Amino acid sequence: MTRFFVDSHTLAMERVALAGENAAHAKVLRLKASEQVLLCDGQGMEALCQVEATQPEYILSVLERRRALSEPGVKVRVYMALPKAEKLEHVIQKATELGAEQIVTFPTARCVSRPDEKSLKKKLERWQKIAASAAEQSGRGVIPEVRVLSSYQKALEEAAQADMPILLYENEHATTLRMALDSKEYSTVSLISGPEGGFEEKEVAQAQALGIRVCTLGRRILRCETAPLCAVSAVMYAAGEY
């Protein structure tokens, strides 16, 4: 079903006229009267609507307002050390499709990419657009927020707040992701992953000191952009999403 992202105010109305990009999109799709579409606020609420009129404007009448059906039951946040540009863009797009709640990036000791504040601001706008576009295409009810934290320590402290905070580490051989996920009930998961060169040992210890579980993703070395997506896929599977 076609979905249009609107603000929460619009979602609360009984009749909605599509405007701007949404109207243009409706025209491209040749939306017809009596067709059903979804309005989403990108924050987890949606409204099932029927097209009432297409001329001179697209007018939708709301049939039912509800929590977005396509959102996963488990909230998974991706904490990824800042990689080279195109890799983070890839992870943002794919993690959004896979159902991640947020994507958070931060510097670590071995990060090669060190953008200054000005270029970071510009990048962040771009990243947020990638998330919005992937959310629309994949039928998400939430547009994942993309955020930048200024230090690894801050990222760890925030990630540690989840019910199930996990750091993915290629030199961990004993504890599997499954052991961590099977160890207790959870409704929020943080998945922390390293940059191209991996984490330093002391960075791993820093995470453990905060109670974060250090897990392996198997006996193969995954690239920095593959690891978080593999882990999100596995967590969604473990949570019964598919």
Q: Tell me which residues touch its own copies (CB under 8 A).
A: 69-72, 94, 97-99, 137-140, 176-178, 215-223, 226, 229-231, 233-234, 236-238, 240-242
Q: Give the nearer residue to its own copies in terms of CB position, either 6 or 239.
A: 239
C-beta of 205: minimal distance to its own copies in Å?
A: 21
Q: Give the nearer residue to its own copies in terms of CB position, either 36 or 137.
A: 137
**CA dist 57 → 39, 50, 144 (Å):** 16, 14, 30
Q: Give the nearer residue to its own copies in terms of CB position, either 184 or 219.
A: 219
Q: Give the nearer residue to its own copies in terms of CB position, either 107 or 144.
A: 144
The C-alpha atoms of residue 50 and residue 76 are separated, in whole angstroms, by: 32
**CA dist 47 → 35, 60, 70, 162, 220 (Å):** 14, 10, 13, 30, 44
Which of 217, 240, 232, 209 is CA-nearest to residue 90? 232
Q: Give the nearer residue to its own copies in terms of CB position, either 50 or 70.
A: 70
Q: Give the nearer residue to its own copies in terms of CB position, either 115 or 139.
A: 139
C-beta of 200: minimal distance to its own copies in Å?
A: 19
C-beta of 224: minimal distance to its own copies in Å?
A: 11
**CA dist 58 → 46, 66, 71, 153 (Å):** 18, 22, 27, 49
C-beta of 240: minimal distance to its own copies in Å?
A: 7
C-beta of 232: minimal distance to its own copies in Å?
A: 8
The C-alpha atoms of residue 79 and residue 221 are separated, in whole angstroms, by: 19
Which of 112, 106, 110 is CA-nearest to residue 199? 110
User: Phi-psi bin for 155: left (phi > 0), alpha (psi -120 to 50), beta?
Assistant: alpha
C-beta of 72: minimal distance to its own copies in Å?
A: 7
